[in-house]
Amino acid sequence: MGHSMSFAGKVWRLLVGIKDGLVLVFMLLFFMALFAVLSARPSPGQVRDGALMLDLDGFIVEERAEIDPVQALLSQDAPVQEFEARELVRAIDAAVGDERINAVVLDLTAFLGGGQVHLQEVGEALDRVRKAEKPVFAYGLAYSDSSLMLAAHADEVWMDPLGLAYITGPGGTVLMYKDLIGKLNINPKVYRVGAYKAAVEPYLRSEFSDEARSNIQPIFDTRWEEWKAHVKAARPQSNIDLVANDSVTYVQSSNGDLAQAAVDAGLVDKLGTYEEFGARVAEVAGEGQTDKPGDFAQNDLGVWLAANPPSTDGKKIALVNIAGVIVDGDAGPGTAGGDRIADLLKNGLDDDYDGLVVRVDSGGGSALASEKMRLAIQMYRDKDIPVAVSFANVAASGGYWVASASDRIFAQPETVTGSIGVFGFLPTFENSLSEIGVATDRFTTTPLSAQPDTIGGFTPEVDAVIQSSVERIYDKFLTIVAENRGMTTEAVHEMAQGQVWDGGAARQKGLIDQFGGLQDAAAWVAEQGEANEDGFHLVRLGSAPDPYQSLIRQLLTSDTKTNFLQTGLTGHIAVGQRAAMGRVASDMERIVNGTGVQAYCEVCPMDMRAQDLSKGQKLLQQFAGLIAR
């Protein structure tokens, strides 16, 4: 009996081994086939006479986040599309003078948004197309603030007859966790400097303090005024005040026909199906290659970018992106890993650049990582290489710390900056354990023995040490800013303490030097380095963006456009719900894990990103799994 069981076990193990081997072979074959598919890059020879088609089914971002292809394939999940604003502007500008392109088309059906600075940059590029007497067409189903800001730059704005357009204005909900933390009996140990460092208030209060609110609200007010001015300038006939401030009258003015209401309010020009829209575009761009209704001659963004690579003329100016949360380590792109970016900068010192431009779109994060990057940037200045920093949507706290190592700072009026301050959040769980009958005891030789102890709680000596370290880092922050901006530390402290500012206020206070975008910063660097005489081009530090990333997204990402066509406004709401859940997940991680010492602007207006959706989707799936049980 024993021998037969042993023989059966060996046979079973052999079969399992064969099965595992076959699985491995099939996986290898699959990845080989996938590699062959992904190797088929867009060819410049595929460009044809017709329209430049910008199917923006995702987000406009500063830096596209990379996907781990193996993890994505195993999970069958990938973030939605991300379009780098810089690439979109390059593609649109290339269309201005190219005779093969006779129109630009924006498909905003599944557009999910982008930062206000990025939208403005793309909008200005679209204006250059119109100035060249090439029409811009836009089509959408549910127009909201972001899509309206882009569509305002079109000659003809079309919408589905069952669609709608609405304006919410800047704003957002911040979840406050004081009562939850109390119910869980977590002891929130908070260490901070400054009356305005509101990043920790969601964990300590049920509503923001008067100091925090009085500092933050003007940021949203300024953004709102800038948005209205931008849209009104591009589309003077739009009745923004009616749509935004009297939505009931707006809806009832056309007997509840939301699409017609959008036309009457001047937000939209024409109503029609996508096929009707395509037929109109075909009148300008030419007929498509298929008999499919609504097809028109068009060029895909990827093909067009391949046909129009970045310029390599003139002298070289290095460009480095600091985008996303600043963290320790090698994270990114899409997240600003301090070690990764510092190494990119150090390696770039060997390439004889005539200048450096640092593009920042970050609310900060790790103080240690911020300092590593600042020191790496300072190495260029030490070699008399001119350095300029260009702020995008947000460049606050750690994002401003990094920018201090520069000769000149450029920003836009909509940019949110400042938040010069640091904090630490380290929860302890002695009260939670006591609630379930668990006590702790210690053997010590000094007041710091077995400390810091997040399970048994901190001693007063530990609190004093941590608070002192936070204050020291804050003093370091003040000193860095003061030395680089030609101020006293007392003057910097007066405008610091975690306060945030829009670009206009920041310029008045001397935190930035002038208004302008990335190209303005690059032109200034070129002028300082006398590179403008021979022309210049930007060289992005680091490996070139992986051309296969977008294809991986296309293979694995659900059909966002189909979902939006089916759900309209509710699709927009569902996207916002998933993003909000993603932020809840991030907040819960901080509650459980703490943050360490951070130079981070928690309350800066941050635009929704694909990472929020991905994290929120996973959290919702976990909830669904619990309910299903």
Residues annotated as part of the active site: 197, 397
| Rg for the chain, CA atoms, rounded | 27
CA 110/CA 131 separation, integer angstroms: 27
Residue 485 tokens read as 């901006």
Helix (H, G, I), strand (E, B) or coil at 362: strand
Residue 595 near residue 424 (C-beta atoms within 8 A): yes
Q: Could you count the other beta carbons within 10 Å of the beta carbon of residue 255?
A: 8
* CA gap 321, 508 in Å, rounded: 26
- Picking from 366, 389, 381, the residue whose alpha carbon sits closest to that of residue 506 is 389
What distance in Å separates the CA atoms of residue 551 and residue 165, rounded to the nearest whole number?
Answer: 31
47/94 Cα distance (integer angstroms): 13
Strands 356-362 and 364-366, by their bridges, are unpaired
Give, rounded to a whole angstrom, the gap between the first and last alpha carbons of the chain: 41
What is the C-alpha to C-alpha distance for residues 563 and 569, in angstroms, rounded to an integer? 11
Query: CA nearest 537: which of 353, 314, 387, 388?
Result: 314
| Residue 280 near residue 269, CB atoms below 8 Å | no
Residue 545 CB: number of other CB atoms within 10 A? 15
Q: For residues 392 and 422, is the Cβ–Cβ distance under 8 A?
A: no
C-beta separation of 590 from 160 below 8 A: no
For the CA atoms of 530, 531, 533, 539, the dihedral, rounded to the nearest 10 degrees, stands at: -170
In three-state form (DSSP H/G/I as H, E/B as E, the rest C), the secondary structure along 255-319 is CCCHHHHHHHCCCCCEECCHHHHHHHHHHHHCECCCCCCCCECEEEHHHHHHHCCCCCCCEEEEE
Structural contact between residues 87 and 59, judged by C-beta atoms closer than 8 angstroms:
no
Break the chain down into helix, strand, coil percent, rounded to 5. Answer: 50, 20, 30
SS (H, E, C) 428-496: ECHHHHHHCCCCCCCCCCCCCCCCCCCCCCCCHHHHHHHHHHHHHHHHHHHHHHHHHHCCCHHHHHHHC
| Residue 424, H or E segment | strand 423-428
* DSSP 8-state assignment for residue 55: E
- CA 345 vs. chain centroid, Å, equals 22
Residue 38, CA distances (Å) to 35, 100, 247, 291, 334 in order: 5, 27, 47, 28, 22
At 627, the amino acid letter reads: I
CA distance 584 to 15: 46
Spatial contact of 387 and 406, defined as CB atoms under 8 Å apart: yes
